[in-house]
Structure 1
């Protein structure tokens, strides 16, 4: 926050949005309160962009509908049972929710929905004090917007602290997902969870068992796309929440990195994630969920493959293959979409390929295979491979960086010369069938794969040379 005065100015400008002025007047005319609540108020204080406009009111859902329908561009009632009416005014999409005073029975994070009549009571039931502030919009009695902050959210914004409005044991007991949300806010805002809330989470993490995998996965995705996901991951691990939702990460703390880069693989993985985000920015990319998940999870195969070799050296043979399988299993359990699961697993499977290049220059054939195997994930594999180099040995780090620079330059040269991104045999399936006098079937696929291998080994052959090699190969098959 720059200053409270700046924050007040931003809040006043927010309240002056024409659509909100129009809505506030309509609700006041109908005898109801209307307030901006939660995220928009918090972000205006912090000088962050305000996207979603969430409002709350004492009006019941049917009354909200009666007020907004005459002038709204669109209205939808999907959340009506929970008191929420969605609407679009001009360029703004809004959600208007009736004050709530829900009751939880402890066996589910879904409360018995109960509508309330008090804005203060509605705010006190929210997750953290920084989200429990509201901006009452002007009405006939009060011509200016008013900040409502019954739980001290402004003080916690200034202190950069995450605190629950009620006792943390009560708040987390009502909705265990709030423990995971704390880590997400830590990653997004850089705020620290207060010690009493951290202690409560450490004793209540297993309560997340009542939360759906989809909700947990969605929170993790938001955390990973935040400005500082490492801060969020550390809070997940320190609070014990990771042991429940992503146990592969705290397990890394027990393993010693084979290159002795850091005291354990957990620290190496978090440093690699920070490096990947720096590279992501420097190369002009937007936050990439696939890349960030792959970097975080790239070494989770190490605990199960750890072997103490004669002489005391530690090895983790095939941890890339096992890690890819473990990552896919965990991400599927968290209901990530299939494309994300497959891409993350493939990056983990490929993440050690580069280190063979650093040991000795590859042939053009090996470079082509690297590009072919990475496919559309090539740029993400570049970043993952570079981020994985976290050695404190400056000379070794420079050697690996120079080696990867060389690899990328060779890829660029071969791509320009040979169109590597679209490597195909010099003959297509129709040509193969015509030359060999055969119809569709397994033989065509085998012939295609043979020509593809020739193309990878030798580069472009031309149609005439490819036909000669195809006929020679076919003759050896009898």
Structure 2
């Protein structure tokens, strides 16, 4: 552990921003500490360009000290004692020592500035975030055992967890988030406090909860974070559809443990991610793809269980829950669409789909196709090796067919063979709902039969128009189409004469 302390000191010694800030504050007679997540991440070898500092200087003093030195300064958080700045590509936040008091109703403290680094560290959320380095003396400050917690990879609180969570219930979500991000476990007393106080999370706004949930799901170990939320009862107040998937299983009506299955699907979907950036939409869809099963479970006489239309019910539940958590409309619709479509592949069988069915699969998925393919692959959790291999071959075959048809027909932009303007001209109708119906008919035809040549598309349009009571139109649309093209070729001035 001494080696890790020395690593932090060495890092600070060669950091121009830290050195320059230290000189500014020391000259003014003020102390300056690197603190919190910055110290934790330095010890874990993952320190970035965002640095957190704390000081005994009051906010107005901090503003005077950094103005003219920093590349940019902002005071958005100054009422809470925080001044932000950038310097040489580093983003820094400098916060005055705090000794806050909480009202026990909201998570908003009565801000009080303090004079002690020890008291400031005690009010922080977890011991691994309650370490500091005195930048002037290079002294390591760890009054609450943060280094021990880091070595044991355990999340604990500086104060009693009941006090910490009572001050700010969002810290319970942060515990689960750090379990996911850092791969740590929560101390037993932390889990006990979370279990006893889970309902207090309802004091927190949905927006704040959503931010922590998203960070949890985008962490390196989201399954562990979700399990902590569920086991402590926190998920019952944040994402109740997830613990609801823990369905009872009896010896006569056996089925997979839907909750455990969903956690495995989440892990397998993550393994399929191709970008270094986590895919929040895919991860949400993987976790929630089966949330419609509890509401659609039916016992089959003689044994067995069915979950008919759980994808339809699940998509509705996703929209409702993600709206409550204040996710963006785009995220809500994308996740709901993936949940709705995730069973579509299972009609593929051994390749019985026609090219028309493949086109519809691609068109219905739209820009979500790549994510849908990943979700479908991740949804295979059978322990039957032969069945799993057969499913993988089917996935491979479908993706190969999609690639072939896409190369031939530009599936990413499937549109009717005639556009709206040509439909209006050929049928002699104005813009309106009827044009939309004709456009949809031609698009469905395009999906069923692939690209049509122009004459065949016109003939099909006329045939459809006759079924709608329009016309009369000739059975062979060629002459009318030619006439329309000839009219278009005339000079407008000639027609005016």
- What is the match of residue 105 of structure 2? 107
**1:149 has 2:142 as partner:** yes
2:28 to 16, 27, 30: 30
Question: What residue is the counterpart of 1:219 in the other structure?
Answer: 212
Partner of 1:344: 335
Name the CA distance, whole Å, in 2 between partners of 1:391 and 1:259: 18
How far apart are 1:8 and its partner, in Å?
Answer: 2.4
Q: Distance in 1 between matches of 2:88 and 2:49?
A: 14
Deviations 1:38-94 (A, max 9, x none): 111101111124242111111111001010112111111110110011111121111
- 5+ residue gaps, structure 1, are none
**Is residue 132 from structure 1 mapped to residue 133 from structure 2 by the alignment?**
no
Q: CA deviation at 1:16?
A: 2.8
Distance apart, 1:437 and its partner CA: 1.4
Counterpart-to-counterpart distance in 2, 1:228 and 1:136: 32
Contact 1:83/1:97 (8 A) holds in 2? yes
Please list every run of 5 or more consecutive structure 2 residues that lacks an aligned counterpart in the other structure.
Answer: 470-497
d(CA) in 1 for partners of 2:375 and 2:97?
A: 47
* Residue equivalent to 2:393: 402
The CA RMSD measured in Å over matched residues stands at: 1.6
- Structure 2 counterparts to residues 24-423 of structure 1, below 5 A: 24-138=22-136, 142=137, 145-256=138-249, 262=256, 264-280=257-273, 283-284=274-275, 286-358=277-349, 361-423=352-414
- For 1:94, what is the secondary structure of its paired residue? strand
Report the structure number with the largest CA radius of gyration. Answer: 2
Q: Is the 8 A contact 2:7 2:43 kept in 1?
A: no
* Structure 1: distance between partners of 2:290 and 2:314: 6
Q: Which deviations, in whole Å up to 9, do the C-alpha atoms of 1:147-175 show, x marking residues without a partner?
A: 11111101110011111001111111111
Partner residue in 1 for 2:6: 8
- Helix, strand or coil at the partner of 1:75: strand
1:107 and 1:304 mapped to 2: Cα distance? 35
1:438 to 418, 422, 429: 429
Q: 1:246 to 1:457 in 2, by over 3 A?
A: same
Structure 2 vs 1, CA of residues 53 and 260 (structure 1 numbering), >3 Å: closer, same or farther?
farther
Provide the secondary structure at the position in 1 that maps to 2:246.
Answer: helix
| Cα offsets for 1:338-369 (capped at 9, x unmatched) | 11011000000000000110265200000000
Residues 359 and 319 from structure 1, CA distance in 2 versus in 1: closer, same or farther, beyond 3 angstroms? farther
Q: How far did residue 12 of structure 1 move? A: 2.2
Task: Rate the CA distance shift 1:364–1:239 in 2: closer, same or farther, 3 A.
Answer: same
Note if contact 1:365-1:456 (Cα within 8 Å) is conserved in structure 2. Answer: yes
Matched, 1:458 2:449: yes
> Whole-Å Cα distance in 2 between the matches of residues 443 and 378 of structure 1?
30
Normalised by the length of structure 1, the TM-score is: 0.95
CA apart distance, 1:197: 1.1
Indicate if the aligned counterparts of 2:153 and 2:185 stay in contact, CA closer than 8 A: yes
| Number of residue-to-residue matches in the alignment | 468
SS at match of 2:415: coil
SS at match of 1:248: coil
User: What are the Cα deviations for residues 445-476 of structure 1, in whole angstroms up to 9, with x where unaligned?
Assistant: 01100100110000010222111111121122
- Displacement after TM superposition at 1:287 (Å): 1.1
Structure 1 Cα separation of the partners of residues 419 and 3 of structure 2: 69
Q: How far apart, in 1, do the equivalents of 2:111 and 2:401 lie?
A: 62
Structure 1 41/453 Cα, relative in aligned 2: closer, same or farther at 3 Å?
same
Q: Is the 8 A contact 1:199 1:239 kept in 2?
A: yes
**Distance change (3 Å), C-alpha of 1:285 and 1:462:** farther
